[in-house]
């Protein structure tokens, strides 16, 4: 893929399907665990991680993106440090 000067790659929201620029999308790493749960002891467990992207409104609704809370927490940490 060539250079796209000034234009960010588009991603689609995992929840609602809205297309948004990648720099505005909220990335979230989903972790999955798969296990055979065999009673014989030959238990096989596999872990996988994949990144999904949400638009800001869906991320706020799901509780993934809480900008104001994080900003308030940083302010409190700075105030305690002085």
Q: Hey, which residues does 59 pair with through a beta bridge?
A: none
- Helices marked H in 1-82 — which ranges? 56-62, 67-81
Q: Confirm if 17 and 26 have CB atoms less than 8 A apart.
A: no
How many whole angstroms from its chain centre is CA 31? 10
32: helix, strand or coil: strand
Q: What are the residue boundaries of the structural domains of the chain, listed by start?
A: 10-81
Tell me what pLDDT residue 78 has. Answer: 82
pTM of the predicted model as reported, rounded to 2 decimal places: 0.62
Residue 32's contacts (CB-CB under 8 Å, 6 or more residues apart) are 47, 48, 49, 50
List per-block mean pLDDT (blocks of 10 residues) for the chain, which spans 82 residues. 74 93 90 82 86 91 79 81 64
């Amino acid at each position: 893929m060539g250079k796209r000067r000034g234009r960010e790659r588009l991603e689609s929201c995992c929840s609602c399907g809205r297309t948004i620029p990648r720099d505005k999308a909220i990335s979230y790493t989903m972790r999955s665990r798969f296990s055979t749960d065999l009673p014989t002891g030959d238990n096989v467990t596999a872990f996988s991680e994949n990144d999904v992207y949400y638009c800001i409104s869906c991320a706020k609704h799901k509780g993934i993106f809480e900008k104001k809370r994080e900003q308030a927490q940083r302010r409190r940490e700075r105030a305690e440090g002085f």
